[in-house]
Amino acid sequence: MVLVLGCAHKYTEEEYQNIVNQLSACSQEVKAAKEESAGSSKNIAQVQKRLDQMSQDLGAAINEKQELLDRNIQCLEEKKALIKKLSQSSIANQEKKEAQARMNKGYEYISSLMEPERLNDNIYIIRTQEKIKIVIPQKTLFPTSTSAWLTPKGTKLVKKIALGLKQMSPSSIEISGHTDGTFVTDQKNSAYSTNWHLAMARALSVLQIFEESHVKKDRMCAISYGDAKPITDNATPEGKSMNRRVEIVITP
């Protein structure tokens, strides 16, 4: 039997030192790598933080820009509304001026046209801010205190007013009939059952002449006030005479 014996390699001092040096170098590289990795992680975290901040700043900037845009849109809408309001106000003022001019012209015209009747107290012409009112006493139009048919003189006067209305071409004409405080049911041989009926008959008598004179019917209306709107006290004959009337209210 042959026994073969091997001998283990014995490192020299130089070889050993080389291995130690290599191990130390590896350790340094590992350490450096770890430090670099830690630095990279730190840098990544810092970069991510900056990105998050930039994202927040960008979001805030976008929101601020949107708010500014919304305010600009609101400002434009308010400006448009203001311009529209100013335009409407300007139009309204112009229309008011034109209406006032028509009012002045209409009042001067109808006053001049009816001057003889005004001087004789057959009619009264009253001007308000927006309307012209012609008041015609019963004695000028109707023969008695309980009648509603026009006398020839009354018919002639109403036709003259109709001529003036056609020249004025007003936007509306309201014809209202009125009575005094004496109830027609207390009168003998009365043709009307109430003061309302008598007042309406008076208004319709005038309206009919206007229509026959070709005043535009779509601008006219007849109203009965009966004895509900006296202009003076019914306690005296003179007061009752003033309350028995027809009023023509003209809107130019």
200-229 pLDDT, tens digit each? 999 999 999 999 999 999 999 999 999 999
pLDDT of residue 244: 94
| Domains of the chain, residue spans | 21-100, 114-251
For the residues 28-43, what does the mean pLDDT come to?
79
Q: What is the mean pLDDT of residues 44-49?
A: 82
C-alpha 52/C-alpha 58 separation (Å) is: 10
**For the segment 89-124, what is each residue's pLDDT rounded down to a tens digit?**
888 788 778 877 877 888 899 999 999 999 999 999
Q: In this predicted structure, what is the pLDDT of residue 188? A: 63
Q: Does pLDDT of 195 surpass 90?
A: yes
* 177-189 average pLDDT score: 80
Question: Given a cut of 70, is residue 8 above it in pLDDT?
Answer: no
pLDDT of residue 10: 65
Confidence band for 156, pLDDT divided at 50, 70 and 90: very high
Token duo for residue 185: 């049911």
Give the helix, strand, coil percentages of the chain, each rounded to 5: 65, 10, 25
Give 114-251's CATH code, choosing from 2.40.10.120, 3.40.190.10, 3.40.605.10, 3.30.1330.60.
3.30.1330.60
Order of strands across the sheet that contains 124-127: 124-127, 132-137, 245-251, 172-178, 220-224
CA distance readout (Å), 103 to 72, 91, 135, 225: 45, 18, 17, 26
CB atoms within 10 A of CB 172: 13
The rounded distance, in Å, linking the Cα atoms of 70 and 48 is: 32
Asked whether the predicted pLDDT for residue 145 surpasses 70, the reply is: yes
Burial label for 174, CB within 10 Å (0-12, 13-18, 19+), is middle
Query: CA-CA distance, 252 to 199, in Å (whole number)?
Result: 25
Q: What is the mean pLDDT of the chain?
A: 87
pLDDT of 122-140, one tens digit each?
999 999 888 999 999 999 9
The residue ranking higher by pLDDT, 219 or 185, is 219
Task: Name the strand (E) or helix (H) holding 176.
Answer: strand 172-178
